[in-house]
Structure 1
Amino acid sequence: MALKTVRTATLDIAYLETGPADGIPAILLHGFPYDAHAYDAVTETLSASGYRCIVPWLRGYGPTRFLSATTPRSGEQAALGADLLALMDALSINRAVLGGYDWGGRAACIVAALQPGRAIALVSCGTGYNIQNIPQAGRPVAPEEEARYWYQYYFHSERGRAALTENRRDLCRFIWKSWSPLWTFDDATFAASAAAFDNPDFVEVVVHSYRHRFGLVAGDPAFAAIETALEKQPSIGVPTVVLQGIDDGVDPPAEADEDAAHFTGPYERRRLAGIGHNLPQEAPEDFARAVLSLASFA
């Protein structure tokens, strides 16, 4: 798998690429606190099946870098969606299968919703409809759900920022274990991804993300129009497979499909027993099968 970099208007985006150059593009996006290595096994299967797999590091992670010191280190959802479109444009990719989870799933959902002509199909993990409803973010949810979101409220405080700055590996490893309680990973697996957290903008991007989604800080004005469009909770009409780990420690799926109404095109939900939050790394064959099941739409 080749490490490459492409320049957009604001970022040098680092990404891993494998598979034939003329294959169906599949852009696969990681979440917090993970990195591009979450898809190592997935891309082996997909590239062997003829897909051109592109796995970027998101803003604030790994070798991806901002071009200017004056660019806001925004982690808001609109920034992630805009980065994905900018990546596609820089690589001259008109349409691609989009797949992701957590932050990466949010970016994929945003592009699928607002620019459906750019998405062949969508594989969304965890929260299937992963577009934040920021105007409603201040409304309380069930106590057990609030408890699972402790880390978000932690990052609202300067104590949380200090912990992420000074103790990020232990904090992120704790999150890995809590969110994927049945996944046994070794030190080398964690270390391969944890190196991405040494990005000089990691803390600022993460803290901004978790504060912005609750309306506590302003977003980057460059993305204001996208955020306004997302406030309408746009539907997703591209062919979609939603994958959910039943044993997800932060976002366990309900028996009822609470997101189906947001999808207006071909749609399927698959729930995976024994799988937690980091679904592509815990269940790579299931993720790859989901992509391959959408091949007829390419």
Structure 2
Amino acid sequence: MLKRVDAGVLNVTYEESGDAGGRAVFLMHGFPYDIHAYDEVSALLAAAGCRVIVPYLRGYGPTRFLSPDTPRSGQQAALAHDLLSLMDALAIPDAVLAGYDWGGRAACIVAALWPARVRGLVSAGGYNIQDIAASAAPQAPENEWRYWYQYYFHGERGRAGLAQDRYAFCKLLWRLWSPNWRFDEETYRRSAASFDNPDFVDVVIHSYRHRFGLAPGDPAYEDTESLLAAQPQISVPAIALDGGGDGVSPIGGSEGHGRFFSGPYQRRVIPVAGHNLPQEAAQDFAGAILALP
């Protein structure tokens, strides 16, 4: 069931299902996806007795900024504060956090900086906190090729291209990032409706410029970004997931990320699955959440 609540700088639209008295689980989507990535995962968790909350991120679907004066930031700290504010607005003291891409980043940051609020973490791609200071260093050629869309967004041509045809652009990313997933047009269309949010382009472009130090952040999150620059460890119980057929994550995925986790940690690779793990491998994704203590 869709609900709305004012949380921090946003009026957040979210889907809630399951037992209101059960263990709270927040499922966080990425770019360019939306809450429908978790339709099957949500059903599995609700059947297991969890309280499942799946919010539309800033710039997606019916979620809206409360003020026209709030910067349309897509930086990592903003996403984390949105999640924390939503937990506060719903009076949920602690929860399991799970996500991928942007949503996984928000979950990782809250787990790293506010561990008392997190009972456990499932993160597709492992440690998903950006190291902005190191972003200018070249990566392996194949990784650079995978990030072509990020470099495209660094210029105004990229902004114009996304604004001109976000439907076709994001559909291309779906195909490239999940080459083994045969999604149909209706599946894509259901999520693509969320990209019509009036702030989608601004938030996306800012996200991919800020992470490379090419755009200033929202001053409200400066202190948090300073903490993230130290690449803080995550101490809560965590499971990292990698798709064996992921077409955008760096070669090797989260292999070697164990050094960023000081608590109970394991890594699981899901063969064939691509970047959109919860929608491509719902049983595995839900199973990882239910495996947390």
The TM-score, its normalising length taken from structure 1, stands at 0.97
Establish whether residue 285 from structure 1 lines up as the match of residue 283 from structure 2.
Answer: yes
Paired residue type of 1:193? S
Pairing 1:121-160 to 2, within 5 Å after superposition: 121-126=120-125, 128-160=126-158
Q: Which residue of the partner structure matches residue 70 of structure 1?
A: 69
Pairing 1:1-298 to 2, within 5 Å after superposition: 2-126=1-125, 128-254=126-252, 257-294=255-292, 296=293
Q: Distance in 1 between matches of 2:92 and 2:117?
A: 8
The sequence identity of aligned pairs, in percent, is 60
Q: Deviations over 1:255-294 (max 9, x none)?
A: 8822110001111100011100000000000000001101
Q: Distance in 1 between matches of 2:195 and 2:263?
A: 37
For the structure 1 residues 223 and 46, does the alpha-carbon distance in structure 2 shift closer, same or farther, using more than 3 Å as the test? same
SS at match of 1:182: coil
Q: Distance in 1 between matches of 2:240 and 2:133?
A: 25
Q: Distance in 2 between matches of 1:218 and 1:26?
A: 32
Q: Distance in 2 between matches of 1:8 and 1:47?
A: 24
Extract unaligned runs of 5+ from structure 1.
none
Q: Deviations over 1:37-77 (max 9, x none)?
A: 10000011000000000000000000000011110000000
Q: Distance in 2 between matches of 1:91 and 1:253?
A: 38
Is the CA contact 1:129–1:262 (under 8 Å) kept in the aligned structure 2? yes
Kindly state the Cα deviation for residue 143 of structure 1 after the two structures are TM-superposed. Answer: 1.1
The TM-score, its normalising length taken from structure 2, stands at 0.99
Kindly state the Cα deviation for residue 254 of structure 1 after the two structures are TM-superposed. Answer: 1.6
SS at match of 2:182: coil
Is the CA contact 1:245–1:253 (under 8 Å) kept in the aligned structure 2? no
Paired residue type of 2:211? R
For the structure 1 residues 273 and 216, does the alpha-carbon distance in structure 2 shift closer, same or farther, using more than 3 Å as the test? same
RMSD: 0.9
For the structure 1 residues 252 and 183, does the alpha-carbon distance in structure 2 shift closer, same or farther, using more than 3 Å as the test? farther
Is the CA contact 2:119–2:236 (under 8 Å) kept in the aligned structure 1? yes
Is the CA contact 1:246–1:252 (under 8 Å) kept in the aligned structure 2? no
Q: Distance in 1 between matches of 2:8 and 2:290?
A: 32
Q: How many residues align?
A: 293
SS at match of 2:54: strand
Extract unaligned runs of 5+ from structure 2.
none
SS at match of 1:61: coil
Kindly state the Cα deviation for residue 8 of structure 1 after the two structures are TM-superposed. Answer: 1.7
Moved over 6 A (4+): none
Q: Distance in 2 between matches of 1:267 and 1:245?
A: 17
For the structure 1 residues 255 and 178, does the alpha-carbon distance in structure 2 shift closer, same or farther, using more than 3 Å as the test? closer
Kindly state the Cα deviation for residue 252 of structure 1 after the two structures are TM-superposed. Answer: 4.9
